[in-house]
Amino acid sequence: MGAVLLTVEPLRALGDADRPRLRFSAALDQADPRRLLFVDEKPAFELSYWCGICQILFQRQEGSTETFTADGDDPIEAFGALLPRGDYQPMRLELRPRLVHPSSPGDYFAEEQVDTWGLDSFWGLPVYPRTPYYRTFETAVGADAHFYEFVVPMVPPSWNERAQVEKYIADLDAGQSLSGVAVSVLDVSEPATAEGADHHTHWALTHFLLDGHHRFQAAAETGHPVRLLSLLSADNGLAGSAELARVPVLRSQAAAARRPTVRQFRPPRKSGGS
């Protein structure tokens, strides 16, 4: 999965302090303890839980039903106006997205996440994101940590107009450069116990795609690169300032798949019971 960090800018104050179209749960709410991304005050995605030891999550909810456009000479300001007021780090990336369906080959939730956290303790199944999504990049943070990147569409590719996808395929084949825009969060989580076969800290950079759904589908179908303007929130991820500061460095590294630590098998203890 080829991916390039093109540019990165300093933190920038953006957003609507009063009535943003999109917002994140501000804090743990006892009435609804879920961590959420809202669109027009309706839950659009449930995100990783607040604890920092729970599984990574982006699970589509009923409020995720539309894409976004914004007009203006400065796309950062234009799309930033849709977001809650806060600090964002604009990054421009070039990606080769690969579309993944839940529980299909390459699904992070059914593979890497299960290797670390195991199956969901209640359902006995992998976490289900309720949406196809794009995998774009991964690299090592260290021996005990790995960086995963996802682009999550606000509506599934099956909602895209086929004629528009075909137009963008033709544009890509002709050598044109296409782009999209996303609001992004970094979640860093490590399970409290070493139950899984590959215990490590997961750094998940998740881009929620606001604009560019047809273009990303066209790029995924053809293998051509597509560009992404990411507005990385400094306020709404499960990561500290030191971890956020490492994102441009990690995104500049060569892509690398996780090499799991091989655990030595230990037979279960014998007990006197039957």
**Closest listed residue to residue 177, CA positions, set 168, 164, 185:** 168
Task: Say whether pLDDT at 235 is over 90.
Answer: yes
Helices (H), 179-254: 213-222, 241-251
Average pLDDT, the chain: 93
Q: Which residues contact 64 (CB under 8 A, 6 or more apart)?
A: 39, 44, 45, 131, 154, 155
pLDDT digits (tens, 9 = 90+) for 142-188: 999 999 999 999 999 999 999 999 999 999 999 999 999 999 999 99
Check if the beta carbon of residue 208 is closer than 8 Å to that of residue 152: yes
Left (φ > 0), alpha (ψ -120 to 50) or beta: where does 37 sit?
Answer: beta
pLDDT digits (tens, 9 = 90+) for 208-228: 999 999 999 999 999 999 999
Q: What is the pLDDT of residue 79?
A: 98
- The mean pLDDT of 63-76, rounded to a whole number, is 96
